[in-house]
Amino acid sequence: RSRWLLVTESPLHDGDGVHVANLAMYSDITDRKNLERELAQHSLHDTLTSLPNRALCLDRLERLQRDAERHGGDVAVLFCELDRFKEVNRAHGHEIGDEVITTVAARLAHVVRDDDTVARFSGESYRSVVRDERATERHRASCGTIARRQLRGKPGGPCELILCVRRERRRLANA
């Protein structure tokens, strides 16, 4: 197991001002570093799904747009909304609702490349920032059936949950 150490070092001099040694003091700051990492994770990721949150998604979108402007290319932002999701929570309970949210998150994250971003933008709203059309089409194809598959066979029987995917695409010129 790794540990974080803070080292403070001071020179020691004799009566004539000649350097004779160094005095080092070590402090274990592992707990503080772990807490900092957890706080960073919570500030930039959704606690239920562990997906990037709105702030991290917007940051990544800005970076991707700057890169596309410099080097050329397409940036697509995909919107996936779970319409009438409150009805699912009311009919089946928050536990099932959370299961739908986490399953949708996992499926969306699975259909894009590792360097693309899928974020939970709000309660039942997701955004994906992608650079190529294949990832865009895989995302679009998968959105429509995720929730229905998740709810099939749950208490209360099948529930129709309609997902609406809107795609906005903008061609960025070479800078």
Reported as half-sphere exposure (CB side, CA atoms, 13 A), residue 70 has a value of: 6
Instruction: Write down the catalytic residue from 124, 137, 160, 168.
Output: 124
- Residues whose CB falls within 8 Å of the CB of residue 3, separated by 6 or more in sequence, listed in order: 28, 30
124 is catalytic: yes
Structure tokens at 104: 């949708």
- Helix extents (H) in 3-162: 30-44, 54-71, 85-92, 94-110, 133-143, 146-151
- Intra-chain end-to-end CA distance of the chain, in Å: 47
Q: Rounded to an integer, what distance in angstroms lies between the CA atom of residue 154 and that of residue 161?
A: 13
Active site members: 124
